[in-house]
Structure formats: structure tokens, C-alpha cells
Copies of this chain bind each other. A is one copy, B any other.
Amino acid sequence: MTQEEKTMKSERIYEGKVINLRVDTVELPERKYSKREIVEHSGAVGIIAITENQEMIFVKQYRKSVEAVLLEIPAGRIEQDETPITTALRELEEETGYIANKMTKIIEYYTSPGFSNEVLHIFFAEGLVEGVAHPDEDEYIEVTYLSIDEAMKRIKQGEIKDSKTIMAVLLYKTMINTEV
């Protein structure tokens, strides 16, 4: 029933800074054909970082795609020559100033496999040392702290609207519950 779709043609539409777009023509069973629009992305990381006071670190950032300021976990795109863990260490420091002495991968998943190959890696940062944030030139970021209960409340109230952030809070909540 589920089977590979052979690429008959691949058209490159756009090569950008963050994404590329291509449209593949694929062969389906019974010699039928269909188009698949595919957004290529180098992958990204999100970081669960908990302070000594048991608060999770969040960043507020304007997102042009949705024309809104979103409350998110520290995160960023995997750049050329980076591994996910080096991206996680770099982004945490750039966006929040915190340096992590331990960074552990929790999970990785496809954010939107219906049209994109983006993989999101979620890390858990430990041994945090406070420092000074230094975001990218075109990033304007505000650091915020929330208890896990407050974060859960904001998810339920629809105030946290970012996928990886909801995922991170639910995963951390599950981690705590499993430990107890």
C-alpha cells in the first residue's frame, strides 16, 4: 500500500538563505503521476534549558511569517559545517548568554513532512553558566523565564503557539514525571 515515489523530474524553483524550493514529479502506481512541492531546509535545533531556580529559559522574538511576537525556546538553524550539538551550544549562548557544560539530544523529528525535509533536534542543556547574549545582527530577542507549571498553563491558554516550544515543555514535563 505505502510505497516509494520514483522521481521522474525535479525542478529547482528557488535557492535562498534559509530554504530552497523544488518541485518533483513522481510516479505513482498504475502509471499515474503527481507533483510534490518540497521545501529544503538544513535542519534546526531547540534547547530545553532549566535554570538553578527550576525555570525554563524562553526567548521572545518577532516572526515575520506569522506577523507576531512568539514565546519560544532558544533555537536556530544548523549552519554549514555544524553538527546539531554545536548549533545548540552556539544558539543557546548567542540568544540567552548561557553556556552549557552538558548538552544531550532528547529527540529529533520532521517538523512538517507534508512539504518539507526540515529536521528539528531538541537538546537538554545542563550545567548552565550565565553570560552575555549576542544575537545575530538581524535578530531582536528578549529572554524570559517561566516555571514548568506556568509554561503548561500558557500552552493551555494558547499563549505559547510555537510547535518546538510546546513539544519541549511536554517532553520536559514527561521527563520530570518519569524521574519521580
Contact = CB atoms under 8 A, between A and B. Distances in A.
A146 interface: no
For the complex of A and B, the 6 pairs showing the least CB-CB separation, nearest first, are: A36-B64, A34-B138, A170-B170, A1-B142, A63-B113, A16-B37
Contact of A4 (B21, B32, B62, B155): B62
Interface of A: 1-5, 13-14, 16-19, 21, 23-24, 26, 28-29, 32, 34-39, 41, 44, 60-67, 69-70, 72, 75, 77, 107-118, 120, 137-138, 140-142, 155, 158, 161-163, 166-167, 170-171, 173-174, 177
Contact of A114 (B34, B77, B155, B170): B77
Number of copies: 2
Contact of A36 (B34, B65, B166, B174): B65
A63 B114 contact: yes
A113 B66 contact: yes
B62 A109 contact: no
A64 B117 CA distance: 9
A166 to B, nearest CB: 6
A94 to B, nearest CB: 14
Nearest to A67: B4
Looking at A24, A44, A112, which has the most chain B CB atoms within 10 Å of its CB? A112
